[in-house]
Amino acid sequence: MKEKTSRHIILASTSPRRQELIAKLGLPFDIIPSDANEDTPFGWEPRKIVETLALRKADTVYRNLVEPDVNAIIVGSDTIVVLEGNILGKPSDDADAVRMLSLLQGRVHEVYTGVACIDVLTGQCIVRYRMTKVNMKPLNDDQIISYVRSGEPRGKAGAYAIQGLGASIVESIEGDYFNVVGLPVSLLSDMLSEMGMHVLS
């Protein structure tokens, strides 16, 4: 168990994928779900959506900390899938997942992830985003239904997970792979360095 004074990360997310990626940095971290409201006004640009929600998640945890003097950096993140300007969030059910995948198949879409870091001791805040283009394979109805039946699309933006079985339906990507998984690790490490927490030290 780490000492209270040690510098660490607080991940404002229950996402197993983000937890796995944070763990790969080799830095001590805790998990505190934000439970922040994820509604945004209609018409916002993708960048504004993911940056706003990432900050909202981190800020919610920041304001609700039991120990407001803890030596930590809170990390919030949000990911959306965008197809020709239309935002595809998490599918509401399997039928919705089929609908989303039918739209995405054989086409290029964009994945935006926003990242927010808040230094608990100083209040310093950094918010950034990254975008990756994903080219999905042409799929027939049977392939889409089979993938949806695997259960993997549930709870995933755009109804697929590139790090799982979803890798079999992606033709190629242009940009950061980990951004599509849900946390651009390279970007996050740069942000942490600006706050004095270095991954490679």
Q: Kindly list the catalytic residues.
A: 78
Phi/psi region, residue 196 (left: phi>0; alpha: psi -120 to 50; beta: rest), is left
Q: From CA 113, how far away is CA 50, in angstroms rounded?
A: 6
What phi, psi does 169 have (nearest 5°)?
-110, 5
Name the residue among 144, 172, 143 with its Cα closest to residue 158: 144
Q: How many residues does the chain have?
A: 201
d(CA 158, CA 87): 9
Residue 115, SS3 per DSSP: strand
Q: At what angle do helices 141-149 and 94-104 cross, to 10 degrees?
A: 140
